[in-house]
A = this chain, B = another copy of it.
Amino acid sequence: MSKRKDSHRATRRIRLGMVGGGDGSFIGAAHRIAARLDDQFELVAGALSSTPERARASAAKLHIAPDRSYADFAAMATAEAQREDGIDAVVIATPNHLHVPVARTFVEHGIHVICDKPLATSLAEAQALAQAVRERGLLFLLTHTYAGYPMVRQARDLVAAGELGELRIVQVEYAQDWLGEPVELQGNKQAEWRADPKRAGPAGALGDIGTHAYQLARYVSGLSVQELSAELSTFVPGRVLDDHVQAMLRFHGGARGMLWASQVASGACNALRLRVYGTRASLHFDQEQPEQLWFAPLGEPARLLRRGMAPQSTAQAAASRIPAGHPEGYFEAFAELYRDFARAWRGGESPAMPGLQDGLDGMAFIEAVLSSHQQNARWVRL
């Protein structure tokens, strides 16, 4: 791990620096709230914007000392690595194309990484980064937020414990409608970079939300995809990247499934849903109702499992903060990933923390879908 000695590692707050994520960034704010929630982190440095003024202004608002607000991430890496009280980890909240360059820079300075997904814009790039991280023994958290929900963790535990029997079917979908019109041409900043291949990479909805759906399916089911047949669509005229993905999946071991991700599904908000069916039972998780999980055994009435209520799996219990019926949500799930990171950083185990392997899998998925699509949805091996 980090080479610095640290006698207070068990109790002190972990020092963070952030790249990107300045004022007006949805995901930067989410990272900060998540990091703060359980009081194990403090944000002490930042290169918050490529525009120096905005970087400074954002830093001031966030109570970052002026001398630790940097104009660029490379300067920040160098400076922080030399400070006695330098950052322990960097949070990368930039558009996709910068994930790898930023991560590599900090990794080279021995600084742990907390990074948005998708990990990279190509599998090769991701693999090189992964190697560098592993060589240095650094921690790497990939913020697949939905993996932080207590009921997602319970779902995963139920599958792992064999409560569903042998898995047969996995259905996952992620539907939104905010790109149903060409909002990237109408001043929507969030849409602009996502619609631009230079910043988003070669995948649109596929990279933005398809990877979330894929990660969730794998994370809960424990299955891996052997081959897939996929088709991309671009429904909004003038758009370059895909805004709709549909795929059929063949899992190792014989299970079958489908994946659908769309950002033009009118009336859908952030509808990520996973259903897993085994020989003995099924489960159903809906990200918009994250406090509950349907568990339906064959031949018995379906049961509505709830966060904080029996039967709780170990991971569900560990991820809950407040008694049942007091809804936790997205920020708490995000914070759970930070707790995973903190646990690992303090020397403990975080088996459920999404990391490099999720990132590599996600990139392999993206490339397989792109390849299948280019071949008229031919089956492509992962």
Contact = CB atoms under 8 A, between A and B. Distances in A.
Interface string A280-311: 11100001111100111111111111100111
A343 to B, nearest CB: 16
Interface stretch (A29-37, A101-109, A121-129, A356-364): A29-37
Contact of A297 (B32, B39, B267, B311): B267
A326 interface: yes
Contact of A303 (B231, B266, B301, B306): B301
Contacts of A30: 322, 326
Given A231-B248, A266-B296, A327-B329, A321 B33 contact: yes
Nearest to A303: B301
Contacts of A229: 229, 248, 377
Interface string A328-364: 1111100000000000000000000000000000000
A37 B39 contact: no
Question: Contact size class for A?
Answer: 35 or more
Contacts of A169: 244, 262, 264-265
Nearest to A176: B325
A230 B339 CA distance: 43
Interface string A54-86: 000000011100000000000000000000000
A365 interface: no
Interface stretch (A89-97, A135-143, A198-206, A271-279): A271-279
Contacts of A328: 329-331
A296 B267 contact: yes
B176 A63 contact: no
Contact of A329 (B13, B278, B329): B329
A332 B181 CA distance: 31
